Amino acid sequence: MTRSVLACLLFGAMAWGQASPASTPATQSSNAPVAAAAPTPGEAAEAAKVAPDAAVVTINGVCDNPPADGTTDSNCKTVVTRAEFERLLDAIQPNMPPRVRRQFAMRYATALAAAAKAHTMGLDQGQKYDDRLRLARLQILSTSLNQAIQEKAGQVSDAEIEDYYKNNLASYEEADLQRIFVPRTQQEPKPKAGTAADKSEAKATDAAPKLSPAEEKQREKEGAAAMKAEANKLHARAVAGESFTKLQLEGFQLGGLKTKPPSVKLGKEQRTGLPPSQASVMDLKSGEVSPVIEDQNGYYVYKMGEKDTIPLDKVKDDIRATLRTQRIQAEMQKLQQAATPTLNDSYFGEEGGPMRGMPMVPPTAAPGSKPSGPGPK
């Protein structure tokens, strides 16, 4: 077996566990290179002193044509030069620091020895070997495609960033918001234990007959109606200029909640930082109060404070990451749509969830990138 074939096999074994600068596979192989910082200038300068044709890894007893009788031959050795070794590193993890390079060199030498032994045993022959080699090739090619797509997607010009910013300017508005939250349901009041009167009240409550399902449903309906009416009253008082902090406390008290109410001051918020059903409050003018907004949890009333737009230079990196992520997702979606398989359910069984196992194209997501769509979160 030639050294180049072994390098491809080793790379194929490591490729799926390798974390590239812009992708995070679901699982990581134990053979993957250890993630580490790039070498320091001093380390790089020291390594550069070694001549390109100088041996950096020498494995005695391993060669393409070892003695057939098993005897020791001093000429049977494999020598890897600096140029050859760095080509391998460039294919797997460029700028690998010295400590990790040493670990990889040891791993590579062991793999060469294991491959030589497997060759003498005839393990590189037969259908199983051919199938594994074919899968390794598919893995290498799909990983290479993934990297190429990421590199191309990352080529975002300043003009494209500026156009995106202008077209999504509303997403980069930020405002000081105040918010009142009124719970949807009213908690059933519970007597406090402590004084004799309290204990007497608690005992009387315990002795009272329990509500039937219909009565309990009616109580919940009446409580919900009371909370909705309260939200409308608080909204009217908010429009009249009353303190949001005071109104928030009253809303919680009517709801029977004993916990401390949330702060009404949200601070600086962007449209993308609000639930979609509440994002319309960003259209308010300074000093305006929103209508009552209802969702499954309760009722919300907002008041707009000062509003401004984040400058382009502060969101440039976020926009670049957003465009990059969108492009990667679009390319992967096109690839998947162009090769949608039809599976035999009689053989595979009914579809029961997401495909498990090793994908032919690893997932792509830039670390720390924002969800696709206008504006940073």
- Reduce the DSSP state of residue 196 to 3 states and report it: helix
Does residue 301 sit in the same domain as residue 196? yes
Full-model pTM: 0.62
pLDDT of residue 276: 92
Average pLDDT, the chain: 80
Residue 342 lies in a domain: no
Residue 154 lies in a domain: no
Residue 132 lies in a domain: no
pLDDT of residue 42: 67
Listed residues 67, 93, 126: the one ending a domain: 126
| Whether the Cβ atoms of residue 178 and residue 266 lie closer than 8 Å to each other | yes
Which residue carries 């007597």 as its tokens? Answer: 191
pLDDT of residue 255: 85
pLDDT of residue 320: 96
Listed residues 97, 126, 155: the one ending a domain: 126
pLDDT in tens, 297-325: 899 999 999 999 999 999 999 999 999 99
List, in sequence order, the alpha helices (H) in 81-212: 82-92, 98-120, 127-153, 158-167, 196-207
pLDDT of residue 47: 77
Residue 208, Cβ neighbours under 10 Å: how many? 8
Does residue 106 sit in the same domain as residue 224? no
Tally the domains of the chain: 2
Instruction: Report the Cα 312 to chain-centroid distance in Å.
Output: 25
Enter the tokens of residue 340.
Answer: 């949608």
Mean pLDDT by 10 residues, the chain (377 residues): 45 39 36 50 74 92 76 81 92 84 92 90 94 94 93 95 95 95 79 51 56 82 90 96 95 86 93 92 95 93 95 95 96 90 89 53 42 40
Residue 96 lies in a domain: yes
Residue 279 lies in a domain: yes
Does residue 185 sit in the same domain as residue 301? yes
Does residue 303 sit in the same domain as residue 186? yes
pLDDT of residue 74: 73
Residue 11 lies in a domain: yes
Residue 87 lies in a domain: yes
Residue 367 lies in a domain: no
Listed residues 267, 284, 310: the one ending a domain: 310
Does residue 218 sit in the same domain as residue 102? no
pLDDT of residue 374: 46
pLDDT of residue 302: 97
Does residue 305 sit in the same domain as residue 180? yes
Does residue 187 sit in the same domain as residue 306? yes
Does residue 24 sit in the same domain as residue 111? yes
| Structural domain containing residue 306 | 174-310
Does residue 17 sit in the same domain as residue 114? yes
CATH of the domain at 221: 3.10.50.40
| Whether the Cβ atoms of residue 126 and residue 118 lie closer than 8 Å to each other | no
DSSP letter (8 states) at residue 75: T
Does residue 92 sit in the same domain as residue 12? yes
For the chain, report the end-to-end CA distance as a whole number of angstroms. Answer: 52
